[in-house]
């Protein structure tokens, strides 16, 4: 069984980025990691993640939570920088928007196989 940390690592996002998705979409971290994986590997997904983080920043500002807004600005800055430095964004699956590799009927992610995953949908993790 995969732990929360495993799922976040497999999402190709950082924990703070997954947290921003979870807060914005009102999801658990596990589900947010799955959504993040899906978005990162879509050609337009990185723009969607940036928009999510920007929305979270604005929500924090409106609430008057300047500390959280500042934290999220750093999350956004780091995410944008990672996209700039590595357009494939942690390209463990090849290029962003590309298809995962299939080996022996198993989805191969970052050198690991996940027998529960399908090539046409993100990995579903159980909190462990």
**pLDDT tens-digit series, residues 40-92:** 888 888 899 999 999 999 999 999 999 999 999 999 999 988 887 766 654 44
Domain assignment present for 79: yes
Domain assignment present for 77: yes
Domain assignment present for 119: no
Domain assignment present for 8: yes
What pLDDT shows up at residue 54?
A: 96
Better-scored residue on pLDDT, 125 or 43: 43
What pLDDT shows up at residue 63?
A: 96
Per DSSP, which regions of 1-128 are E strands?
101-103, 106-109, 112-114
Average pLDDT of the segment spanning 12-22: 93
The range of the structural domain enclosing residue 22 comes to 4-114
Rounded to whole angstroms, how far apart are CA atoms 127 and 64?
33
The mean pLDDT of the chain is 75
> Structural domain tally of the chain?
1
Q: SS3 of 107, please?
A: strand
Rounded to whole angstroms, how far apart are CA atoms 108 and 36?
17
* Residue in the block written with tokens 């929360």: 4
pTM for this predicted structure: 0.67
* Residue in the block written with tokens 């500002």: 61
Phi–psi pair at 107, nearest 5 degrees: -80, 130
Domain assignment present for 108: yes
Instruction: Identify any residues that bridge with 116 across adjacent strands, giving them in sequence order.
Output: none
Average pLDDT of the segment spanning 88-108: 40
* Residue in the block written with tokens 């590595």: 86
């Amino acid at each position: 069984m995969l732990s929360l940390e495993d799922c976040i690592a497999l999402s190709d996002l950082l924990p703070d980025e997954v947290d921003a998705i979870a807060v914005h979409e009102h999801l658990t971290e596990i589900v947010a990691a799955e959504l993040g994986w899906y978005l990162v590997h879509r050609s337009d997904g990185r723009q969607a993640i940036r928009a999510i983080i920007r929305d979270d920043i604005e929500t924090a500002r409106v609430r008057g939570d300047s500390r959280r807004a500042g934290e999220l600005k750093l999350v956004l800055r780091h995410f944008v920088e990672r996209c700039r430095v590595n357009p494939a964004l942690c390209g463990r699956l090849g290029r962003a928007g590309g298809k995962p590799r299939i080996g022996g009927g198993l989805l191969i992610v970052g050198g690991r196989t996940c027998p529960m995953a399908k090539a046409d949908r993100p990995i579903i993790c159980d909190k462990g």
